[in-house]
Structures are given as C-alpha cells and as structure tokens.
Structure 1
Amino acid sequence: MTDGARTIAVSGAASGIGRALADLLRANGDRVIGVDREETDVRADLAASEGRAEAVRGVLERCGGVLDGLVACAGISAPEPLTIRVNFYGAVGLLEGLRPALAAAPAPRAAVVGSISGTQPVDRAVVAACLEGTEEEAVRLAGEARGGTLYPSSKSALARWLRAAAVTPAWAGAGIPLNAIAPGVVRTPMTAPLFEDEATRKSMDDAVPMPLNGYAGPEVVAEALRWLIGPANSHITGQVVYLDGGAEAMRRGPEVY
C-alpha cells in the first residue's frame, strides 16, 4: 500500500460520473489529470485514434511517465456507430496506451465505467468485431445494426475485453487490478432526456428496475470507483460490479450462478 497523494487520470472528467470522481479524488488529496473534449487538463476526442494518442501523450507529459490510477469514464449513448468508437475503442485505447505508466507505479489501479445495459440484447457481430476484428469493421457493422443495440453492445464488448485482459501478464502480472463499475440508471447530463418524457421513463424503469434506493447520483458511482482504484484493493480484478439498486439480480435472477 502507498501513502500520500496519488496521481489519477480520469476520462470524461468534464461532466457526470467522471466529474464527480475527479472532484472526490481531489477532495481527498489526490492529483487528478482530467481528460475530455473541453474544460479539462487534457483536451482530446476519444472517438478518433488521433485523439486517443493525444490523450495518452497529454497524460504522460503531466504524470512524468508514472501513473497511480486510471479510470475510463468517458462514454456516450447514441444510436449510431460513434458509440462504439467512444465507449469501446476510446476506453481500451486509453487503458492500453497508459498501461506502461501504470506499471511504473508502486501500487497501480485501473477501472472503467460499464453499464447494466451490457446484460441486455446486443448485436453479436458488432461485439465480435470489437473483440476480434478491426475498428473500421466494427464501425461498419454498427452502421448496419439496430441503433438501440449499439450502447449495450459497446458495454458488453468492454466488459468482455476487461475480463480477458485483467488476468494477463500485462495487467495482473504487472500488479495492476483492472475492474469495472456497471451502474444502473444514474442522474447525469447524458441521462437527463430519459426523465423528460413519462413514457420513456416508464420504459426505462421496466428495463432497469432498481428496488434498492432507486436512481443513483454520480457521486455514488464515484465512491465505488475510488475504492476500486485505491491501494486497499490488492486482489479484486476482472470484475464487473453492478451498482444498480438490484437491477441485474432482478433481471437475470440467481440462475447465472
């Protein structure tokens, strides 16, 4: 375990969960390197390979090649291929690009923001392309898929990538726990439109029932992420932790185990 301030990079730090996490970490004495398209330390567009490279360079310049923690929070929810570029390739590109800097730290930790939607119907071809093909192939297939499947597909692919990568020599072998928090419905700017229409809200509640305390605020997710990337987490890796008020347990039931 380490003592004192740590240096943590957070993507999506300009709003929502990423901003709540950055604020929480700073309040606890950590140094945060925020990554987003605007209003952050490193301004980059994770939807493009050039933007991902720019984000990695910007973080490395600010951390001096040694990074204690990384959380990939940036994401969008849109029925278009851009969702695949940002949610899957943006997260994976940042994680892989900064992995050497994490490995250089004494107690490195990494996490991503997944989603309960990753347990919902996906486009199998898109998911397979994310995991086994090229980005352009995945984006082409996403353009042919039903728009409503793209967000779940991006989060399912991310969870599957994480579970495979977490136990490899590059991650576990380097002493880097890699996990995900998968929220249910969180009140953020991204989800705000879902609450504006009663029919849409009912549909959302049917898809993501949250019997424990209802909708979450971004600070709730931030607290969970803070622990996952903290020095105390020495042995949890490859896990998708559902912070969803019980939605995953209700929807999938005990049979998954």
Structure 2
Amino acid sequence: MTRTYLVTGSASGIGKATVAKLRSDGHRVIGVDLENADIVVDLSTEDGRADLVEQARELSGGAINGVLAVAGVLVSASPSVAVNHFGAVATLEGLRPLLAAADKPRAAVVASRAIIDANDAKLLELIESGDEASALAHADSLAAATDAAGSSVVYITSKLSLARWVRRNAPSDDWGKCGIALNAVAPGVILSPMTIPVLATEEGRATLDKHAPAPFGGPAADPSAVANLLAWLTSSDNLFVTGQIIYIDGGAESIRRPEFI
C-alpha cells in the first residue's frame, strides 16, 4: 500500500538515498531541504520550521504516514545545535498531528555513532532546557576543534541531545501511546563528499579506525545502507519497535563499549 513520507535533508547524502529508496518502493515522498526540494526551508530558523509545517500540511492533504528527520550539519558551532537538535525536534513536534491522522504512523531521526564520545555537559543541559538562544551562544563560545572526520564536541552533543529526546518521548502519550513509533538511527562513517577525502589519506583512515572501527562492511558505508534501515523503521512492517537508538556502524559501537547492553 502506498504511504506518504516526508524526509528532511532530502537533497543529499542519507536523505537523498532515503527518498530514492522510498520512491523505488512505490511511495509518495515530500522532500525538504535548503534547495532542490518540494519544500525549501531553513530548519535553523523559527520561520523555516513554521513554513515546513504549513507547507507539509498543504502538500500532504493533512496526513503523513512517515516523517524522517534526516537533515543535519557537521560543524563545530551553533548551526549544528540549531539544525541537528532544535530543527529536528521542531519537525517532529510540528508534524506529529499529521502523523496522528495517518494509518500506522512512524517517525525516525538520524543521530550518530559519535554520541558515545565525549560531550559538553553545559551545552547538553542548555539544549535540553529548551533555551535555544543560550545553547547557540554557548556552542559558539566553545570554538570546538574538529577531528579528521569532521566531528566535534558541539556536533556530538547536538546528536546526543536528539537521541535522548527520542528515548524520553517515544513511550509518551503523544507518541507511543497513540500508536506512533519513534526511533533513531546512529550511523558510523558514511561515504559522502566530506568523508571520501578523509578516507583518501593515511591520517584520515587512522582517525576513523581509532574512533569508528568497522569490521563489518567498513571502513565506510554507502548512504543506502542507512536509507534501508530508515525505510523499514518507518514502514507498516514495523509493528513493535520504538524508543530505540539503532547503531548502523559496522560494529564500531560494540567494539568501543562491548560491555554495554
């Protein structure tokens, strides 16, 4: 049966691969991005988030079976916080009524394998308090350095806060108790214009192998691998999975903390 999906970050990377997967399966997809999308908005702004909800309501006819908050940025300053956490949460909360109006509604977000790395406690507290202005200011004050893979404490914290938001909200009255599954995926190294140059250097490969060793299918995966998982999580076949952070990283997380269950 044809379902209607909305995918943010649809113009590139995992978002683009997810759109391709869903459309190849015969579903209708509304793409959202800064350009080359059905809905062109900036999710780092309040106006952009409000425009997304309004346009999605019009284009969908009032019901969406699956929402996939994929849009994200990998920078060491406030845009990571604005898009990765606040933009994703605004997408999910704003579109939740459209999910509730649909058959077998499902939602998923993209976190990161990096959420098990060191984060900034103050930034995490500010994000989770909902004080976006203060969180953005603190993120900029950190001037966090990036590693060879482009990750930083600001990026890590923004993805960790998003994953924690999923865990807290998935079983709530607004989500699980009204039949909406809500999950997150945590990708390891994914082939992209950013990671391909890293993989081309000995230093870059060494950094990735240290922080994200991937004995199964590594050192990096095609975006389609994540797209396939997102497609299942938001499909009508997902009958009992919610509130989960699913690592899709070739085994990196299990190597880093084998005792964690």
Alignment match, 2:226: 221
TM-score, with normalisation over the residues of structure 1? Answer: 0.96
Is 1:182 the counterpart of 2:186? The answer is: yes
Residue 234 of structure 1: SS of its match in structure 2? Answer: coil
CA distance in 1 between partners of 2:174 and 2:165 (Å): 13
Question: Unpaired segments of 5 or more residues in structure 1?
Answer: none
Residues 185, 216 of structure 1: 8 Å contact kept: yes
1:86-121 superposed Cα distances (whole Å, 9 cap, x missing partner): 100111010000000000012100000110011110
What is the aligned partner in structure 1 of residue 199 from structure 2? 195
Residue matched to 2:103: 106
Deviations 1:169-221 (A, max 9, x none): 00011100000111100002343443344312311221111111101100010
Structure 1 runs, 4 residues or longer, greater than 2 Å off: 189-198
Alignment of 1:73-222 (within 5 A): 73-147=70-144, 148-214=152-218, 215-222=220-227
Cα deviation, residue 250, structure 1: 0.4
CA contact (8 A) 1:77 1:190 kept: no
Quick one: distance in 2 between partners of 1:30 and 1:175? 21
Give the aligned partner of residue 243 of structure 2.
238
> 1-side partners of 2:204 and 2:80: how far apart?
20
* 1:70 partner letter: V
Indicate the SS of the match to 2:242: coil
Q: Is the 8 A contact 1:179 1:238 kept in 2?
A: yes
How many residue pairs were aligned?
253
Structure 1 residues 53, 194: CA separation in 2 closer, same or farther (over 3 Å shift)? Answer: farther
Identity %: 43
For residue 46 of structure 1, report the CA deviation from its aligned partner: 0.7
Q: Which moved more, 1:109-118 or 1:48-57?
A: 48-57
Q: In structure 1, what is the Cα distance between the partners aligned to 2:54 and 2:198?
A: 36
Q: Please report how far the alpha carbon of residue 144 of structure 1 lies from its aligned counterpart in structure 2 after TM superposition.
A: 2.1
Q: Contact 1:76–1:190 at 8 Å: present in 2 too?
A: no
Any gaps of 5 or more consecutive residues in structure 2? 145-151
Residue 29 of structure 2 is matched in structure 1 by 32
Amino acid in structure 2 at the alignment position of 1:43: V
* Aligned match of 2:53: 56
* TM-score (norm. length: structure 2): 0.94
Provide the C-alpha distance between the structure 2 equivalents of 1:144 and 1:166, rounded to a whole number of angstroms.
32
184-193 or 208-217, which moves further after superposition?
Answer: 184-193
Q: 1:82 to 1:163 in 2, by over 3 A?
A: same
CA RMSD after TM alignment: 1.1
Tell me how far apart the structure 2 counterparts of residues 234 and 203 of structure 1 sit (CA, whole Å).
Answer: 38
Q: Which AA in structure 2 matches 1:174?
A: C
Task: Provide the rounded CA distance (Å) in 1 between the counterparts of 2:114 and 2:143.
Answer: 15
